[in-house]
Amino acid sequence: MKAQDELKIGDKIFSSRLFTGTGKFGSLSLMKESLLASGSQLVTVALKRVDVKKKDENILNFLSDSLFNLLPNTSGVRNAKEAIFAANVAREALVTNWLKLEIHPDPRYLMPDPIETLAAATELVKQGFIVLPYIHADPVLCKRLEDVGVAAVMPLGSPIGSNKGLKTIDFLEIIIEQSTVPVIVDAGIGMPSHAAQAMEMGADAVLVNTAIATAGNPVMMAQAFKEAVDAGRKAFLSGLPQSRTHAEASSPLTAFLNA
Amino acid sequence: MFSEEIKKYNWDEAHEAIYAKTSRDVEHALSKKKCNLDDLMALLSPAAEAYLEQFATKSHNLTIQRFGKTMQLFAPIYLSNECLNVCTYCGFSFGNKIPRKTLSETEMKTEFEFLKAGKFEHVLLVTGEDAIHANPHYISNSITIARKYFADVSVEVQPLGEAEYSMFKDSGCDAVLVYQETYNPEVYKTYHLKGKKANYANRLDTPDRIGKAGITKIGLGVLLGLSDWRTDAFFLALHLNYLEKTYWQTRYSISFPRLRPAEGVEKVDHPVSDKQFVQLLCALRIFDHEVEMSLSTREPEYMRNNLISIGVTSMSAGSKTNPGGYSASPETLEQFEISDDRTPEQILDLIEKQGYEAVWKNWDKALTAH
Q: Is the pLDDT of residue A123 over 80?
A: yes
Active site residue A100: yes
β-strand partners of A153: A183
Question: What is the overall mean pLDDT for chain B?
Answer: 90
Q: Is the pLDDT of residue B267 over 50?
A: yes
Please compute, for residue B195, the number of CA atoms within 13 A of its CA located in the half-sphere on the CB side: 23
Of B89-98, B289-298, B354-363, the least confident: B89-98
CA distance B354 to chain A (A): 9
Cβ-based contacts under 8 A for chains A and B: 83
Contacts of B366 in chain A (CB under 8 A): 47, 85-86, 89-90
**Would you state the pLDDT for residue B19?**
97
Cα–Cα dist B67/A241, whole Å = 43
**Would you state the pLDDT for residue A242?**
55
pLDDT (average), residues A187-209: 95
Q: Is the pLDDT of residue B159 over 90?
A: yes
The continuous run of DSSP H or E covering A61 comes out as helix A59-62
Report helix angle B162-171 to B136-147, nearest 10.
Answer: 20
Interface probe, candidates A27, A106, A111, A162, chain B, greatest B C-beta count within 10 A: A27
Among chain A residues, the shortest Cα distance to B290 is held by A108
Domains by residue range for chain A, with CATH: 3-240 (3.20.20.70)
Among chain A residues, the shortest Cα distance to B248 is held by A106
B264's torsion region: left (phi>0), alpha (psi -120 to 50) or beta?
Answer: left
Q: Is the pLDDT of residue A29 over 90?
A: no
**Would you state the pLDDT for residue B92?**
80
Q: Is B349 within 8 Å of chain A by CB?
A: no
Of A25-29, A145-149, B33-37, B63-67, the least confident: A25-29
**pLDDT digits 0-9 by tens, B45-96:** 999 999 999 999 999 999 999 999 999 999 999 999 888 888 888 778 888 8
Q: Are A51 and B69 in contact (CB < 8 Å)?
A: no
Question: If interface means Cβ-Cβ distance under 8 Å, which residues of chain A face chain B?
Answer: 23-28, 47-51, 54, 74, 76-78, 82, 85-86, 89-90, 105-109, 161, 163, 210, 213-214
CA distances from A171 to A17, A140, A156, A158 (A): 21, 10, 10, 12
How far, in whole angstroms, is CA B279 from its chain's centroid? 17
**pLDDT digits 0-9 by tens, B302-324:** 998 999 999 999 999 888 888 88
Question: What is the overall mean pLDDT for chain A?
Answer: 88
**pLDDT digits 0-9 by tens, A47-104:** 888 876 665 557 777 777 678 899 999 988 999 999 999 999 889 888 899 999 999 9
Contacts of B122 in chain A (CB under 8 A): none
What is the complex's ipTM, to 2 decimals?
0.70
Cα-based angle B13, B14, B19 (whole degrees, multiple of 5): 100
**Would you state the pLDDT for residue A1?**
47
**Would you state the pLDDT for residue A190?**
93
Cα–Cα dist A74/B72, whole Å = 19
Kindly write down the DSSP assignment for every residue of B208-239, as one continuous string. Answer: HHHHHTT-SEEEEEB-BTSS-HHHHHHHHHHH
Of A2, A8, A53, A100, the catalytic one is A100
In chain A, at which residue ranges do the beta strands (DSSP E only) sit? 7-9, 12-14, 18-20, 42-46, 69-73, 98-101, 130-135, 154-155, 184-186, 205-208
Q: Is B290 within 8 Å of chain A by CB?
A: yes
β-strand partners of A206: A18, A185
CA dihedral B350, B352, B354, B359 (to 10 degrees): 100
Find residues 201-260 of chain B whose CB sits inside 8 Å of chain A. 244, 248-251
B52 Cβ neighbours under 8 A, 6+ residues apart = B275, B278, B279, B282
Q: Are A85 and B363 in contact (CB < 8 Å)?
A: no
Report helix angle B37-44 to B11-19, nearest 10.
Answer: 60
Cα–Cα dist B367/B370, whole Å = 9
Q: Are B361 and A48 in contact (CB < 8 Å)?
A: yes
Read off the pLDDT band of B264 (50, 70, 90). Answer: low
Q: Is the pLDDT of residue B368 over 80?
A: no
**Would you state the pLDDT for residue B335?**
67
Count of C-beta atoms within a 10 Å radius of residue B251: 19
**pLDDT digits 0-9 by tens, B204-253:** 999 999 999 999 999 999 999 999 999 999 999 999 999 998 999 899 99
**Would you state the pLDDT for residue B211?**
97
**Would you state the pLDDT for residue B331?**
56
CA distance A241 to chain B (A): 40
CB distance A48 to A76 below 8 Å: yes
Domains by residue range for chain B, with CATH: 2-368 (3.20.20.70)
Among chain B residues, the shortest Cα distance to A28 is held by B357
**pLDDT digits 0-9 by tens, B197-209:** 889 999 999 999 9
Closest by Cβ to B66, choosing from A25, A49, A161 = A161
Q: Is the pLDDT of residue A224 over 70?
A: yes
CA distance A228 to chain B (A): 22
In this structure, chain B runs to a length of 370
Pairing of strands B70-78, B357-359: parallel
CA distance B309 to chain A (A): 12
CA distances from A72 to A61, A246, B36, B110 (A): 15, 43, 37, 34
Of A45-54, A200-209, B152-161, the least confident: A45-54
Q: Are B69 and A26 in contact (CB < 8 Å)?
A: yes
Cα–Cα dist B204/B4, whole Å = 10
Q: Is B132 within 8 Å of chain A by CB?
A: no
**pLDDT digits 0-9 by tens, B282-295:** 999 999 999 999 99
**Would you state the pLDDT for residue A124?**
97
Read off the pLDDT band of B334 (50, 70, 90). Answer: low
Count of C-beta atoms within a 10 Å radius of residue B346: 14
pLDDT (average), residues B186-202: 88
pLDDT (average), residues B17-46: 95
Percent of chain A with pLDDT over 90: 64
Q: Is the pLDDT of residue A43 over 80?
A: yes
CA distances from B305 to B51, B272, B297, B309 (A): 21, 18, 11, 9
More confident residue, B366 or B111: B111
Q: Are A49 and B355 in contact (CB < 8 Å)?
A: no
b/e per residue A33-68 (b: at least 16 CB within 10 A): bbbebbbbbbbbbbbbbbbeeeeeebbbebbeeeeb
Cα–Cα dist A181/A189, whole Å = 21
